[in-house]
Amino acid sequence: MEPTQTAVISIILLLAVAALILFAVYRSRRTAALRERFGEAEYERTLEERGARAKAEADLTAREKRVSKLELRPLDVGERTRFTDEWVAAKGRFVDDPTSAVVDADGVIGATMAARGFPVDDFDARYETLTVDHSDLARHYRAGHDIALKHERGEATTEELRQAMIHYEALFGELLIADHIPDTDVSNGNTRKGRIAGAPVPPRRIVTPVA
């Protein structure tokens, strides 16, 4: 083999090795970024569900793209009042009828998310949207929903239903105040297009956790 050919082959091999190293670094950084954004629990859940890291990360990346196209919006004053009243009514039924309370609470959560622009197709679509930027809220949503499904099979205990209400309340409280539109007049300089920077967060109008 000619010296020139040997040199060319050596350069090609070095470039191939460098490309492999760069690809490994890229994958490592992408994995770390996805783990941070979605949370360790959701990353591992998706990995287990998809069966391979490449498929799991493709799924998570696709979620990011879908959510980037959504037009999520804050609730207006009337919507916050209506959903709060519905939530308080659902929660107030827990002592006498925990089953109905959980079913109604699940409905209020779904309606609130729909009003804010979350997907209305099914639970999975809403859940996956939450995981992109609100992994902790998504965890509460899945935990509450899993108990609701367990109840449909006739397997949930009253204590589990109580836990479902607590999970739902954590989610509902955040949905209610996220990007809050202040109850003030635009003539005072307020934009009414989201919470004003530095403005205090309004108090949550929900009752204490289920006893």
Single-letter residue type at 137: L
In this predicted structure, what is the pLDDT of residue 96? Answer: 92
90 pLDDT more than 80: yes
Q: What is the mean pLDDT of the chain?
A: 80
Shared domain check, 142 and 61:
no
Domain range for 96 is: 77-188
Average pLDDT, stretch 148-171? 91
* Per-residue model confidence (pLDDT) at position 179: 56
Query: Which one is predicted more confidently, 98 or 27?
Result: 98
Say if residue 89 is in the same domain as residue 167.
yes
For 11-37, b/e burial (b = at least 16 CB within 10 A) is: eeeeeeeeeeeeeeeeeeeeeeebbeb
Verify that 113 and 48 share a domain, yes or no. Answer: no
d(CA 204, CA 120): 25
Residue 188 has pLDDT above 60, yes or no: no
Residue 64 lies inside a defined structural domain of this protein:
yes
Question: Residue 115 and residue 42: Cα distance in Å, rounded?
Answer: 25
42 closest CA partner among 57, 54, 29: 57
Q: Looking at the predicted structure, is the pLDDT value of residue 17 above 90?
A: no
207 has pLDDT over 70? no
Helix (H, G, I), strand (E, B), or coil: what is residue 183? coil
Number of domains in the chain: 2
Percent of the chain with pLDDT over 70: 82
